[in-house]
Structure 1
Amino acid sequence: MSAPDKNQSNEHVRETVRTGYAAIATGQRSCCCSSQRSGHADPTRLAKAIGYDAESLANLPDGANMGLSCGNPVAIAALLEGQTVLDLGSGGGFDVFQAGEKVKASGRVIGVDMTPEMLAKARKNIGHYRQRTGLDNVEFRLGEIEYLPVPDSSVDVVLSNCVINLSPDKPQVWREVFRALKPGGKISVSDLALLKPLPDDVREMAAALVGCVAGAVLVDETRAMLEKTGFTSIVLTPRPDYVRNMQDWNDPLYKQVAETLPKGEEIADYVVSLSIEARK
């Protein structure tokens, strides 16, 4: 593919994702795992299943949890008081608000999202967060994760939850993350990854793309990208429970993908939630 064609394709992917997540933010869709509102969508149930505790979920501003997670990067990161944290694809502020409580008044959490509708939703929730916690340590910035709106070597921890797989230029995302981190800083990411390549007809499904499946890459590809970027202490931990839960709950997207797979195969044979940890 020529450079102009590649750029056009990448921009098409970004616009597909932007449009899909704008619909989620405005309530036209229930979550990233469905092309329409679904009675099966239960953000709280999903969050508990992937490791978020009931107390943290109960304290969140209304609408911050939209069922877009595939893991719990906040828990994996073991955040410390005073740290500066950057959350890629922050959505309604789900992980940002939880991280803010952990880094306390001397810390800072910056959420970045490319969807203005999501940004408006998250910023609207800041008042509730301040009132409940007494903290004024979170902010949300408009930007693409391939071009992060933060200075070089300015953050201690980078979080992301089921977002990097949506990017059409993942190597650029990892380069930007590396640039933003302070020396010794770390990443704590939950993402979807592949155990083996998806069939072509699944990858081409627009619903699967916005649902975080079609953009996922192989686990080994993720490791190779991190190593090439310069990350060290890389730990990749596959977590199959997320995909199995989505299958068991008859999620519309996962049902649609399952029906497209070759006979006798299931989504868990291909897709896994992956915890990604590494240091600069």
Structure 2
Amino acid sequence: MSTSEELKQIVKDKYAKIATQETAVNASSCCGATVSSGEVYNIMTDDYSAVDGYEADADLALGCGLPTAFANIQKGDVVIDLGSGAGNDCFIARHETGETGKVIGIDFTEPMIEKARINSDKLGYNNVEFRYGDIEKMPVADDTADVIVSNCVLNLVPNKKNVIAEIFRVLKPGGHFSISDIVLVGELPEALQHDAEMYAGCVSGAIQKEEYLGFIEDQGFSNITIQKEKTIDIPDDILSKYLDEEGLAQFKSGSTGIFSVTVYAEKPGAKKDKPRVKLSELQNSCESGSGCC
């Protein structure tokens, strides 16, 4: 479709515009980038409104999961949010890490950084910081973060292996990440694969699920776990912009699946002294309905 730098510029330009759009427009399209659908609401996103720390002004409905709900953030943790947008996941992470922790949001779209800083100043948070930068080369020192979260961002990055390597670099030994993203099973139709709007819409930039998990394993992460998975159904009135009637029928009857997955993994090394909830306990609480979910 385009070179890596051209794809990055497409995303920058699109998300600069998205920063000023109504949340309802973003929620009824693919990551705010495609035409809106009249068929469904919240195509990609989960509902954040009941999550502690939620700030409506920071919710642009651009995510595809609730990674902070699975991230096992402890009081005093340093948390980094990749592709922090208007700050929604950062403010939820701040609720979990408390006044003794620190939250760093990274985004390469200047209007998003500006919007996030305005939201943070309004809330009076002095331990939430937003940094302008590319997550393929994070403006963060080695071994900084206890926890990394991200919500529907890696699919927008041309070189996903670079981002995963950067996540490994900036996590402390024993640290972990919980990341929600879009992955594929099967091949997208060519009309979707090579469309810039669908790339910015978090679809055509997604890679195969097994390849995605393989990148994480190859980097050296351990205890790789899918914490949540859901099917993403793109409405017909959006797909019809890219596919004719025959192509639409073939796509819907084929074997291609588009999924939101929330993946957890740990950087090997010495654990911190303070106790952590075991991943198995976290999953059990989610499955029973008595915990964070």
Instruction: Specify the TM-score bucket, using the shorter chain as the normaliser.
Output: 0.7 to 0.9
Partner of 1:138: 128
Whichever residue aligns with residue 7 of structure 2, its letter is V
Counterpart position of 2:275: none
Alignment of 1:1-280 (within 5 A): 9-27=3-21, 30-31=25-26, 32-35=31-34, 47=45, 50=46, 52-54=48-50, 56=52, 59-60=54-55, 62=57, 64-130=58-124, 135-237=125-227, 239-241=229-231, 243-244=232-233, 247=235, 253=238, 256=241, 261-266=247-252, 269-280=256-267
| Alignment root-mean-square deviation, CA | 2.7
Question: Percent identity, aligned pairs only?
Answer: 35
What is the rounded CA distance, in whole Å, between the counterparts of 2:251 and 2:239 in structure 1? 13
How far apart, CA to CA, are the structure 1 residues paired with 2:179 and 2:49?
18
- Mark the CA change 1:37 to 1:272 in structure 2 (over 3 Å): closer, same or farther: closer
* Partner Cα separation in structure 1 for residue 142 and residue 188 of structure 2: 36
Change (3 A) 1:24 1:53: closer
- TM (norm. structure 2) is 0.80
Aligned-pair distance for 1:207?
1.3
Q: Check 1:200–1:46 CA distance in 2 against 1; reply closer, same or farther (3 A cut).
A: closer
Q: So what's the TM-score if we normalise by structure 1? A: 0.83
Within 2, Cα distance between the matches of 1:68 and 1:276? 18
CA distance in 1, matches of 2:171, 2:204: 28
Q: Which residue of 1 aligns with 2:289?
A: none
Instruction: Describe the SS at the equivalent of 1:198.
Output: coil
Cα deviation for residue 61 of structure 1 reads 5.0
Q: Partner of 2:226: helix, strand, or coil?
A: strand
Supply the AA of the counterpart residue of 2:126.
D
Q: Does structure 2 conserve the Cα–Cα contact (< 8 Å) formed by 1:208 and 1:257?
A: no
Does the Cα contact within 8 Å between 1:61 and 1:129 map onto a contact in 2? no
**How many pairs were matched up?**
260
Flag the 1:127–1:41 CA change in 2: closer, same or farther, 3 A: farther
Residues 152 and 180 in structure 1, CA contact (< 8 A), matched pair in contact too = yes
> Structure 2: 5+ residue runs without aligned partners?
268-293
Q: Secondary structure at the match of 2:3?
A: helix
The runs of at least 4 aligned residues of structure 1 exceeding 3 Å deviation read 33-43, 252-262
Distance 1:37 1:123, change over 3 A: farther
Q: Deviations over 1:243-273 (max 9, x none)?
A: 14x53xx6x6456457684524339942100
Could you say what secondary structure the match of 2:223 adopts? strand
Q: Structure 1: how far apart are the matches of 2:240 and 2:153?
A: 21
Work out whether residues 59 and 86 of structure 2, in 8 Å CA contact, stay in contact via their aligned partners in 1. Answer: yes
Deviates more, 1:259-268 or 1:202-211: 259-268
